[in-house]
Amino acid sequence: MNILNTDILLDEEAFETASQNFKKLADDMETLRKNVNQGLKDLETGFQTPAGKKYVQTFQSKLLDPVKNQVIVIEHVAENLIQAKTQYESVFDEYKQLNNSIK
C-alpha cells in the first residue's frame, strides 16, 4: 500500500447538511420553547396563589431555561460546523497539492 496515494477528503456537503440540521433543530426547539412559554403565561393568570407562583417558577427554571440554553448550544454547534468547513477547506486543498507534488 502506497501511503502517498491515500487521499484525505473533506465532505463539504456533510458539514453543510449537519449545520443546516442543527439550525433547524435549534429553530424547532425555540418555537417549542415559545409555545410552552405562552401556554405557561396563559396558565399563570389562574395560578395567582403562592403554590401557583412556585409552580410557574419551577416550570420556568426546570424546563424553559434549560431548553433556551440547549438552543444556544445547538446554534453554536451549527456555526462551528460552517467555520470548520471553511477553515479545513484550505488545509485539505493544500494537502492535496502537497501530495500531488510528492508523487
Mean pLDDT (whole number) for 20-34: 96
User: Is position 5 within any domain?
Assistant: no
**Taking the CB of residue 89, how many other CB atoms lie within 10 A of it?**
13
Domain span at residue 49 reads 16-102
Read off the pLDDT of residues 41-82 as tens digits, 9 standing for 90 and up: 888 888 888 998 898 899 899 999 999 999 999 999 999 998
Separation CA 6–CA 60 (nearest Å):
53
User: Is position 75 within any domain?
Assistant: yes
Q: What percent of the chain has pLDDT over 90?
A: 45
| CA-to-CA separations, 97 to 84, 90, 100, in angstroms, rounded | 20, 10, 5
Q: What percent of the chain has pLDDT over 70?
A: 89
**Which residues of the chain form beta strands (DSSP E)?**
none
User: Is position 25 within any domain?
Assistant: yes
Q: How many domains does the chain have?
A: 1
Separation CA 4–CA 100 (nearest Å):
9
Nearest to 74 by CA among 14, 13, 30, 37: 30
User: Is position 11 within any domain?
Assistant: no
User: Is position 3 within any domain?
Assistant: no
Are the beta carbons of 79 and 12 closer than 8 angstroms?
A: no
The C-alpha cell at 20 is 443546516
